[in-house]
Amino acid sequence: MQLTKDIYMEMIGHCLSGLPDEACGLLVGTYGEDEASHIFVTKNAAASAMVYEIDPKEMLAVDRQAQDLGADIMGVFHSHTHTDAYPSPTDVAQALDPGWHYVLVSLRDTQPVVRSYTIVDGVITEEPVIAPGVGEPEVSR
C-alpha cells in the first residue's frame, strides 16, 4: 500500500482527532492497484470506540468525487484505539471487496502504528505500507 506523506499524515491526524472513538475514511486511486492518490476522511456513523461505520451519505459523495477524478474507492482505513493494527473478526466478516486495501491505524501506543492488509474470502494477508518521507528527519536548512 503506497501512501503519500500528506495522505499518511492526514490519516493519522484524523484518527487522533477522532479519539476516544474509532475514526475512518476512504482511499481513492486505481482499483486493484497499490497506490492511493487521494484520501477522504469520513465520520464514524457508529460514533463508537469499538466499531466503525462509514456514513452511507458520505460514501455516496466520495464515490462521486472518485468518479470525477477518473478513479475509484480502492481502500478504507480505520483506527483501533486500544488494540493492535490487525483486522478484528468484525473487520474480516465485513470486508467485502477482495480488491480493496484495509488499512489499520493503532493508537494503543504513543506512536501510531499503521499496517495494511488485503482480506479475500476471510483470509488476511499483510502488505507493506510504503509512505516516502514519513518517519525521516526533516532536513534543516
Partner 1 sequence: MAVEVRLPTVLRTHAGGASSVQLTGATLGDVLAKLVAEYPGLAGQVVQDDGSLHKFVNIYVNDDDVRYLQGLDTPVPDGAEISILPAVAGG
Nearer to partner 1 by Cβ, of 13 and 99: the residue is: 99
Q: How far is the CB of 30 from partner 1 (least distance, A)?
A: 10
**Given its phi and psi angles, is residue 135 left (phi above 0), alpha (psi -120 to 50 degrees) or beta?**
left
Q: What is the DSSP letter of 37?
A: E
Binding site for partner 1 (CB under 8 A): 24, 26, 31-32, 46, 50-54, 56-57, 59-60, 63, 67, 72-74, 76, 78, 87-91, 94-100
CB 74 within 8 A of CB 31: yes
Rg (CA), the chain: 14
Q: How far is the CB of 137 from partner 1 (least distance, A)?
A: 34
CB 21 within 8 A of CB 49: yes
Nearer to partner 1 by Cβ, of 46 and 134: the residue is: 46
CB 95 within 8 A of CB 87: yes
Q: How far is the CB of 53 from partner 1 (least distance, A)?
A: 4
Nearer to partner 1 by Cβ, of 15 and 24: the residue is: 24
Q: How far is the CB of 92 from partner 1 (least distance, A)?
A: 8
Q: Which residues pair with 85 in a beta bridge?
A: none
Nearer to partner 1 by Cβ, of 98 and 133: the residue is: 98
